[in-house]
Structure 1
């Protein structure tokens, strides 16, 4: 197993613990979940803060959602395709929300505790102990892959914006691919309709937090609109 594969394995073991326990989980628990020794965790990550950074970075990656979108069969009716897309994207956001909430509880978002220490390398054992038994930190560079946040501290807000833009573009393209077979029936280009679909599906703030619309309801609204039209009106 390469160092990168080992880091990815540790992150996969840590993510469920972060979601269920918040940042109070310990590296010993992560090691047990991964089936490795705790020392291996610290060979992969400098401290628990670095592991937290990597967990959030992994949660931010849209790879799982993109894989699910790519697996939707284009031979299905359009409504079924878009319902599957909506379900996958909502699940991704729910996972992401749980991870970010846990990371937020560990400290101020976007700032790692280790960045506030005046001499972070003078006492790595003490830093490791504090990280393992106290609150962790939100990621300073959430676009980095597992383990990269601690090795690339020079990336800042511009990289964050670039990473978000790339993820958004990838998701938009995946949804457009689901619409493309119906291009001759679409009122707008598939890419434009994909952007509108995502705007409806993933608003900045849900208007119905207590009773959110189902994916099927959103797809029905997206495809057929809010008004019932007569045949004459539809043919105008």
Structure 2
């Protein structure tokens, strides 16, 4: 990965990169940080109408969150393929290993998701914040659409597609 290729892909002059970044190594970190920023995702979640039925709100939220995770995965995949993805060192046993940056990046979308549950809170068994946390973790655990999962024999695709395939 050369600065010339990066500049060409970005449609800018190579010198522009060094006016913004101290060196080539600062660029992958900036790409990762930008992809992980939840601002646009949170704005979209906050724009979902609370007048829709809960199922419709959650379906739209799921698509929004999947888009965000897909963008983060694309950046991480590109950096990994170029040998530039920095992974945190494994934590010591018994020590908290969650990154404060990661937690901060999850908190804003989680709050926006909780707001989607709030109009229904009188009929819910759990608090909106707890449901938002579970919803967010479920989406993250499900992975990107089309990625193989252990239960589908590597077929990938959506759950309805996998069920139809089994029939």
Q: TM-score, normalised by structure 2?
A: 0.73
In 1: Cα distance, 2:105 partner to 2:10 partner: 28
Compared CA separation, residues 68 and 159, structure 1 to 2 (3 A): farther
Compared CA separation, residues 34 and 28, structure 1 to 2 (3 A): same
CA distances 1:51-78 after superposition (whole Å, capped 9, x unpaired): 1111011112222211211111111111
In 2: Cα distance, 1:37 partner to 1:168 partner: 34
In 1: Cα distance, 2:141 partner to 2:81 partner: 24
Matches within 5 A, 1:12-161: 24=1, 26-32=2-8, 36-107=12-83, 137-139=84-86, 161=99
Task: Report SS of the residue matched to 1:66.
Answer: helix
> Structure 1 residue 48: deviation in Å?
2.2
The Cα RMSD (Å) is: 2.6
> Structure 1 residue 159: deviation in Å?
10
Say whether 1:192 aligns with 2:120. Answer: no
In 2: Cα distance, 1:198 partner to 1:83 partner: 12
Task: Report SS of the residue matched to 1:43.
Answer: helix
Matches within 5 A, 1:144-223: 161-203=99-141, 206-207=149-150, 208=152, 210-213=156-159
Q: TM-score, normalised by structure 1?
A: 0.54
Q: Unaligned stretches of 5+ in structure 1?
A: 1-23, 108-136, 142-157, 215-236
CA contact (8 A) 1:56 1:139 kept: no
CA contact (8 A) 1:179 1:190 kept: yes
Count of residues in correspondence between the two structures: 145
Compared CA separation, residues 86 and 96, structure 1 to 2 (3 A): same
In 1: Cα distance, 2:40 partner to 2:105 partner: 12
In 2: Cα distance, 1:202 partner to 1:164 partner: 13
